[in-house]
Amino acid sequence: MNEIFLLNTFFFTYVNGYSSAQLGASVWSSTLPLLLFLCPCPLLCHAAVRPRRCLLLCPCRAAAMVASLWKLVRGVRQLELHRLILALIVFCLLSMAFLAYYVSNSPKIKEAPPLPFSDCGGVPVAVGGGQRAPLFLPRSGRLRQVKAMDNSRTDPVVLVFVESIYSQLGQEIVAILESSRFRYRTEIAPGKGDMPTLTERNRGRYALVIYENLLKYVNLDAWNRDLLDKYCVEYSVGIIGFFKANENSLLSAQLKGFPLFLHSHLGLRDYRINPNAPLLYITRPNEVEQGPLPGDDWTVFQSNHSTYEPVLLASTKSSDALTHPGPLRAMHSTVVQDLGLHDGIQRVLFGNNLSYWLHKLVFVDAIAYLTGKRLCLSLERHLLVDVDDIFVGKEGTRMKVTDVEALLKTQNKLRMLVPNFTFNLGFSGKFYHTGTDEEDRGDDMLLRNRKEFWWFPHMWSHMQPHLFHNVSVLAEQMRLNMLFAQEHGIPTDMGYAVAPHHSGVYPVHSQLYEAWKSVWGIKVTSTEEYPHLRPARYRRGFIHNGIQHGRGIWTSGASVSSQKTHSKRMLYETSLNCIELQL
């Protein structure tokens, strides 16, 4: 009975999970006094030679047998536990190695199958010269299926995913948003990380998503990609993405998850605007920019899917694999508009960055279209072009008769585009007839055509107003200029003036404002300095002493070598801000 009691005690303890060495030792120490009490021959049981009765019936022998069995079971269990831990460690190491290999070797875009470079059902597009836009279906019937962008359930904020806070393209995107006074938020594009919160109280936080690197969007992990796509579909939010080829980009590839093929590292020429593109707003359709495009790192898009509409098209510089056989040069799309027929999300994809001036205009149009004109500037502009320093300059740099004729011709040309456009000439009377004979004849021709222009005072001797600390002396300089204007029939009732070098406007030189009001009755002026010269997009207007300063001014010197660059830059600048005579 004693042996049975001990066996039951041990197995009850073991079955209930007390199998550690500590619990085993505690069981043995607790049962040993009981064994000594029950054993009829405790002295003999612990002797070297024991009687047969003790060997067979003694509780000590039963306990010894139980202890041996317990040690055997414990060793087996410890061995199994060690093997299990070792197996788990090996499994974790193998999983980590496989994951690292998959992440490092997973291609960003997969290789495309051989492309058919025939028309494949494409139709000619009226781009002039019999040129065709291959692999794009006709527009008729497609736009009827396109869902209008209605993201009224979102806040008018743009979410911009950038590579880094120092990336050039990211800074250009932010500069355009700030110039347009659009609210935005920048985030480092997540690869495998968390997506920023997109909704709050059943309302979308962003009306538009912009990816500096299109591949960051394409290669999002499944969770974040599904989260973003569902948000865009539910709240009618569009996406703008840029693909700029680098040395690691494949020459031809399919954009992962899209029926769209990319061809990179191309040199292009003769940029054309597709008149059928729905997003065009500021950009004029049917315009052509002749000549080669800068760089040989352009990317073009091709697709047979009806969801893609080309926006900008260009030809390749040479007859490479993308061109059609025959005398006609094929047109390829560098900017495409996804109408949302594939997955319900409308997108605009650029095959380069914003360095080219036309891309800036299309980018502004894309923002307006994808936000349902919520983030959009009015097409109405108050444009004022000042030509300072009339009659000022050294011999050989002043206006001649041919220059005045060119000025009149340009003004008439611009009036065909801008009703009542008129150049505003700022004069300094002291320098009248101080050039060569040919330049003096140019001065006379300006005055003969004085009624063709607007005029504003620019100080008699072109002195900077902040150098005058006496109001009466400063006012006398202005009166001399007024007398000159009255003698030569120059109108003096514009109420507008510009100080030489914008001196005294900001920081404010109070004597200038007092003299302007007393002599000329000035109400409006301009400067580049408020609140800081750079960056230009941060300039603002203000009113001081009843004189309003206009914002959005942009200036350029008379550099002939950079005339073409200045004209293109001014085209973009005036399309956004121009000189708006308002706060």
Do 302 and 393 lie in one domain? The reply is no
Looking at residue 124, its pLDDT comes to 39
Percent of the chain predicted with pLDDT > 70: 71
Q: Number of structural domains, the chain?
A: 3
pLDDT classification of 518: cutoffs 50, 70, 90: very high
Do 170 and 284 lie in one domain? The reply is yes
Q: Report the range out of 38-47, 79-88, 435-444, 547-556 with the highest average pLDDT.
A: 435-444
End-to-end CA distance of the chain: 106
Q: Which residue has the higher pLDDT, 286 or 547?
A: 547
| Domain presence at residue 561 | yes
Over residues 139-170, the pLDDT tens digits come to 555 555 666 677 789 999 999 999 998 999 99
> Which of 234-238, 316-320, 516-520, 559-563 is predicted with the least confidence, judged by mean pLDDT?
559-563
| Domain presence at residue 349 | yes
Global confidence as pTM: 0.67
Do 186 and 315 lie in one domain? The reply is yes
If we measure between CA atoms, which residue out of 6, 80, 79 comes closest to residue 37? 6
Do 415 and 295 lie in one domain? The reply is no
If we measure between CA atoms, which residue out of 277, 301, 304, 260 comes closest to residue 121? 304
Q: Which residue has the higher pLDDT, 566 or 127?
A: 566
3-class SS letters over 25-94: HHHHHHHHHHHHHHCCCHHHHCCCCCCHHHHHHCHHHHHHHHHHHHHHHHHHHHHHHHHHHHHHHHHHHH
The CATH number for 537's domain is 3.20.20
| Residue 2 predicted with pLDDT over 90 | no
Range of the domain at 517: 386-576
Do 324 and 425 lie in one domain? The reply is no
Do 360 and 391 lie in one domain? The reply is no
| Residue 120 predicted with pLDDT over 70 | no
Report yes or no: 341 and 307 within 8 Å, Cβ to Cβ: yes
Q: Which one of 51, 67, 89 terminates a domain? A: 89
DSSP-derived 3-state class of residue 499: coil
Looking at residue 106, its pLDDT comes to 47
Report yes or no: 58 and 39 within 8 Å, Cβ to Cβ: yes
Q: Which residue has the higher pLDDT, 536 or 196?
A: 196
Looking at residue 408, its pLDDT comes to 96
| Domain presence at residue 130 | no
Looking at residue 143, its pLDDT comes to 52
Do 344 and 255 lie in one domain? The reply is yes
Q: What is the DSSP string of 437-457?
A: HHHHHHHHHHHHTGGGSEEEE
| Residue 196 predicted with pLDDT over 70 | yes
Mean predicted lDDT score pLDDT of the chain: 79
Looking at residue 103, its pLDDT comes to 65
Q: Which one of 49, 74, 89 terminates a domain? A: 89
Tell me how crowded residue 103 is: count the other CB atoms within 10 A of its CB: 10
Averaged over 273-285, what is the pLDDT?
Answer: 92
| Domain presence at residue 520 | yes
Looking at residue 215, its pLDDT comes to 92
Do 188 and 156 lie in one domain? The reply is yes
Q: Which one of 370, 399, 429 terminates a domain? A: 370
| Domain presence at residue 114 | no
pLDDT classification of 381: cutoffs 50, 70, 90: confident
Do 308 and 399 lie in one domain? The reply is no
| Domain presence at residue 403 | yes
